Amino acid sequence: MINSLSKDSHITHSLPSATNRKGSGVCLKKREIGVPAKNSNMITRKPAEISFGGFSGLYKSKGFKAFLETATDNQPVFSAIFAVLLTCILRPAAIMGLPGKKNKDDKKYAAAHSMASGVMGYILSLIIFSPLAAAMKKIGKNPQKYIGDTAEYLGDKASKSFQGTKEFKMASSIMKMGTEAILAAPRAIVTVALIPPILKYIFGWEKKSSSKEKISAPQNYAAINFKSKKYNHKKVFQNFMGVNK
């Protein structure tokens, strides 16, 4: 109890200057009860600072606040930025690091594929959703111009805090993320279609059929079982002998 009190800044500062000096060896409270202090530095400690669990720098960080503003204003782009972090760093690291049957080239291709998909997703999101987010921001800043006197449920349009109303925030999220939901499948089609040419022509990577696959391709032994009715033997032998069809 005494020790914990002495940690408090106002108590430490109220100590007489003689006891406040480093190395005096005795804590005031302890000297009163005749116990020498174990830690002579205790009373010279700096005023206690309020600790916020190691996040104190983050709370004030301008970059963090810009990051948060993006999350509020433009959810699809924020998701895409986070996806870039995952697909360009975490996923490739996991693909390369995890043990698996795939050979190294396949792993490299899978990692590159992941990176390309993340970057493509981000570029498409930026092109498609940024204008939508900017439009919603415009409505929030100047509701009377765009909505007029209708849609009263959204809040007081003359107020500067119109953008902060629950209703407007909800409507804004529906407009932005709702459009993202509608466009999710077409965007996925475009992303999937663009990845191979990007890998081939920009990075010069092309998926090669793995040598392992060729070796372990299942052999159709039934084809040379003459009793099997499943196969057209004539055709099989034509292929085998290289006869033109």
Site for other proteins in 165-224 (CB under 8 A): 166-167, 169-171, 173-175, 177-178, 180-181, 184-185, 188-189, 192, 218-222, 224
Find the binding residues for other proteins in span 134-153 (CB under 8 A). Answer: 134-139, 146-148, 150-151, 153
Question: With respect to other proteins, which residue has the nearer C-beta, 38 or 65?
Answer: 65
Q: Which residues in 72-102 are b (16+ Cβ under 10 Å) and which e?
A: ebbbbbbbbbebbeebbeebbeebeeeeeee
Question: Residue 37 Cβ, how far from other proteins at the closest point, in Å?
Answer: 33
Hey, what are 138's tokens? 């415009």
Question: Residue 4 Cβ, how far from other proteins at the closest point, in Å?
Answer: 19
Q: By CB under 8 A, tell whether 5 contacts other proteins.
A: no
Find the binding residues for other proteins in span 223-242 (CB under 8 A). Answer: 224-225, 228
Is there a contact between 154 and 165 (Cβ–Cβ < 8 Å)?
Answer: yes
Question: With respect to other proteins, which residue has the nearer C-beta, 54 or 242?
Answer: 54
Question: With respect to other proteins, which residue has the nearer C-beta, 67 or 203?
Answer: 67
Number of residues that bind other proteins (CB under 8 A): 79
Question: Residue 23 Cβ, how far from other proteins at the closest point, in Å?
Answer: 31
Find the binding residues for other proteins in span 117-136 (CB under 8 A). Answer: 126, 130-136
- Residues 175 and 131: their CA atoms lie apart, in Å, by 12
**Of 26, 55, 56, nearest in space to 43 by CA:** 26
Which of 2, 35, 48, 94 lies at the binding interface for other proteins (CB under 8 A)? Answer: 94
- Collapsing DSSP to helix, strand or coil, 120 comes out as helix
Question: With respect to other proteins, which residue has the nearer C-beta, 48 or 222?
Answer: 222
Site track 28-67 with other proteins (rule: CB under 8 A), x = hit:
------------------------xx-xx--xx--x-xxx
DSSP assignments along 28-64, one per residue: HHHHHTT---S-TTGGGPPPPPPP-TT-HHHHH-HHH
Which of 20, 44, 70, 210 lies at the binding interface for other proteins (CB under 8 A)? Answer: 70
Which of 3, 14, 72, 239 lies at the binding interface for other proteins (CB under 8 A)? Answer: 72
Hey, what are 225's tokens? 């079982």
* Helix pair angle (75-85, 104-141), 10° resolution: 160
- Residues 73 and 134: their CA atoms lie apart, in Å, by 8
* Helix pair angle (104-141, 62-73), 10° resolution: 80
